């Protein structure tokens, strides 16, 4: 009998169901994934979306909902109290909570619209068109109307004009204000009130009243929502080292003082008089801090008027803010020329002029040759703010007449002139 030995080596690989699902999900685009998730949630009643409604240390998304925060004060639970101090969730999370709570048959389409909102709460025409192709125009239009009815007012607008109209209707404003916001937004930004008056057949007083309704709106209602996790760290003011039985600070530790910049602007923003002016004239102040102070914007937020909106540097393009504003307050920024070019009032608050002039100098005599209104004290600045707010932010006659001295051209050919200059000079 023959005896032989045989050794066989084989290897097999089984792919789990989870892995197959992951591979399928990774191949989906944003719209396909959104629709897939909504279908799974509708078909399987044992599943629900992971909506953060409880507080969590160290994250910006997991905080108490607005209603729970209102109930948390007086609660002895340290986690609940921690959530009460900071209620900042992403805009998408806020909208999703409201859509889920409504229990509407439009929920899948509404959630899809919400997923395409940008950081400022807008949805582009292109994205809206893609959703319409997927769900049908009639259903998508209904879902858009529903989303636009949610808080904050102005959600899911496809343009600045549409946002203003949504907010005006919510406030029950005049039909004339809606007409101006929808059809004359460019003229409004340039303060062409006479043109709007002639075009609409309305009196100048009626136009100014309608404009005041528009200026009372909140143009950036979504600035309070974080789009990134808001992780906070505790950093000690002074590091101590143990030497024997003594704790000593580093000898090089500098002596720090609060800057005049911080003190002056904090005083201005917390001024009861400023708050009263803003309230009486239905005006909103947007505080857009200098880039080098961008990381400290929260330091300016104590006890200020609810009519002051803080916009961190880079959150909204500066040119967009300049086009939307009615008046500029600055110290020495060159953006004053852009606002002056658009025929809008400019106020200069130069409380530290002597120190600035000594350190940097200037190409213009700011005490005698500066356009706009110049102030070195808070009271003088607030006098100017009050004057322009009560007069529709119309530019001074002297500044309007002086503009040609600074701006030789007012057309659309600036780029062409630069190109021709470079070409003709051999560049």
- Confidence grade of residue 326 (pLDDT, cut at 50, 70, 90): very high
State mean pLDDT over 264-291. 88
Q: Taking 50 as the threshold, does the pLDDT of residue 79 lie above it?
A: no
Smallest CA-to-CA distance from 221 within 162, 163, 147, 279 is with: 163
- Confidence grade of residue 5 (pLDDT, cut at 50, 70, 90): low
State mean pLDDT over 173-181. 91
Instruction: State pLDDT tens for residues 101-152.
Output: 888 999 999 988 988 888 788 898 988 988 898 889 999 999 999 999 998 8
Smallest CA-to-CA distance from 131 within 56, 44, 38, 64 is with: 38
Whole-angstrom distance, CA of residue 188 vs CA of residue 394: 11
Per-residue model confidence (pLDDT) at position 310:
81
- Confidence grade of residue 276 (pLDDT, cut at 50, 70, 90): very high
Q: Taking 60 as the threshold, does the pLDDT of residue 179 lie above it?
A: yes
Q: Taking 50 as the threshold, does the pLDDT of residue 307 lie above it?
A: yes
The whole-chain average pLDDT of the chain stands at: 76
Per-residue model confidence (pLDDT) at position 15:
57
Share above pLDDT 70 across residues of the chain, in percent, rounded to a whole number: 67
Whole-angstrom distance, CA of residue 109 vs CA of residue 142: 9
Smallest CA-to-CA distance from 120 within 220, 215, 216 is with: 220
Q: Taking 60 as the threshold, does the pLDDT of residue 255 lie above it?
A: no
Per-residue model confidence (pLDDT) at position 223:
62
Q: How far is CA 362 from the centre of its chain?
A: 32
Per-residue model confidence (pLDDT) at position 143:
92
- pTM (2 d.p.): 0.45
Whole-angstrom distance, CA of residue 123 vs CA of residue 129: 10
State mean pLDDT over 194-206. 90
Q: Taking 90 as the threshold, does the pLDDT of residue 379 lie above it?
A: yes
- Confidence grade of residue 250 (pLDDT, cut at 50, 70, 90): very low
Q: What angle do CA 132, 137, 139 make, to 5 degrees?
A: 100
Whole-angstrom distance, CA of residue 52 vs CA of residue 63: 7
Q: Are 307 and 277 in contact (CB under 8 A)?
A: no
- Pick 9 or 248 by higher pLDDT: 9
CA distances from 85 to 64, 68, 96, 249 (A): 10, 12, 22, 32
Whole-angstrom distance, CA of residue 299 vs CA of residue 313: 14
């Amino acid at each position: 009998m023959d005896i032989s030995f045989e050794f066989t080596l084989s290897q097999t690989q089984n792919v789990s169901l989870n892995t197959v699902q992951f591979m399928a999900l990774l191949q989906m685009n944003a719209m396909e994934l959104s629709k897939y998730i909504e279908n799974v949630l509708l078909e399987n009643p044992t599943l629900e979306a992971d909506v953060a409604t409880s507080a969590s240390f160290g994250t910006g998304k997991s905080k108490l909902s607005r209603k729970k925060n209102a109930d948390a004060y007086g609660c002895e639970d340290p986690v609940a109290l921690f959530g009460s101090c900071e209620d900042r969730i992403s805009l998408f999370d806020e909208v999703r909570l409201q859509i889920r709570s409504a229990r509407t048959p439009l929920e899948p389409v509404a959630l899809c619209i919400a997923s395409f909102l940008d950081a400022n709460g807008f949805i582009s025409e292109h994205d809206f068109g893609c959703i319409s192709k997927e769900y049908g125009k009639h259903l998508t239009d209904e879902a858009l109307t529903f989303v636009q009815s949610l808080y904050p007012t102005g959600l899911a607008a496809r343009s600045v004009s549409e946002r203003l109209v949504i907010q005006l209707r919510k406030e029950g404003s005049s039909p004339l204000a809606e007409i101006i916001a929808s059809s004359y937004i460019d003229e409004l930004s340039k303060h062409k009130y006479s043109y709007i008056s002639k075009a609409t057949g309305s009196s100048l007083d009626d136009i100014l009243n309608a404009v005041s309704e528009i200026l009372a709106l909140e143009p950036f209602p979504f600035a309070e929502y974080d789009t990134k996790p808001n992780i906070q760290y505790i950093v000690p003011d002074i590091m101590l080292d143990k030497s024997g039985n003594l704790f000593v600070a580093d000898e090089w530790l500098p002596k720090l003082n609060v800057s005049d910049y911080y003190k002056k602007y904090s005083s201005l923003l917390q001024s009861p008089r400023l708050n009263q002016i803003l309230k009486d004239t239905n005006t909103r102040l947007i505080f857009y801090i200098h880039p080098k102070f961008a990381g400290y914007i929260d330091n300016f937020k104590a006890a200020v008027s609810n009519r002051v909106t803080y916009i961190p540097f880079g959150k909204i393009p500066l040119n967009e803010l300049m086009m939307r504003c009615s008046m500029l307050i600055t110290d020495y920024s060159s953006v004053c020329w852009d606002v002056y070019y658009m025929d809008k009032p400019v106020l200069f608050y130069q409380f530290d002029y002597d120190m600035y002039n000594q350190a940097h100098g200037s190409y213009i005599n700011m005490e005698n040759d500066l356009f706009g209104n110049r102030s070195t004290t808070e009271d003088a600045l607030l006098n100017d703010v009050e004057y322009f707010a009560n007069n529709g932010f119309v530019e001074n006659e002297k500044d309007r007449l002086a503009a040609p001295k600074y701006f030789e051209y007012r057309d659309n050919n600036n780029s062409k002139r630069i190109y021709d200059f470079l070409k003709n000079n051999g560049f």
